[in-house]
Amino acid sequence: GAKFVRVVYQFARYVMIKDLEKLSVGTCIPFAKAVKLRPENMYIAKARRRVGYNKLLQILQKEAAVIREYGKKAR
């Protein structure tokens, strides 16, 4: 449900930040710090978050539909 999608989204964001921290070591570009900053315009930030959340939800729904179809064909 919605709680599961929220947890998966938060986990994916956490993994992305940790990956960026590893990849940005030694470069002069602080990607991870930029990701953690609070935006000036919260309306735009919430809209971007909602777009990412909805996109993840669509991907998970498509994946579930494909798995159901394979299950039906396997019977």
Q: For position 30, what pLDDT does the model report?
A: 64
Q: For position 27, what pLDDT does the model report?
A: 66
* DSSP state at residue 24: T
Q: For position 65, what pLDDT does the model report?
A: 92
For the chain (75 residues), the mean pLDDT of every run of 10, in chain order, is 83 83 69 67 82 86 91 86
Cα(48)–Cα(37) distance, integer angstroms = 14
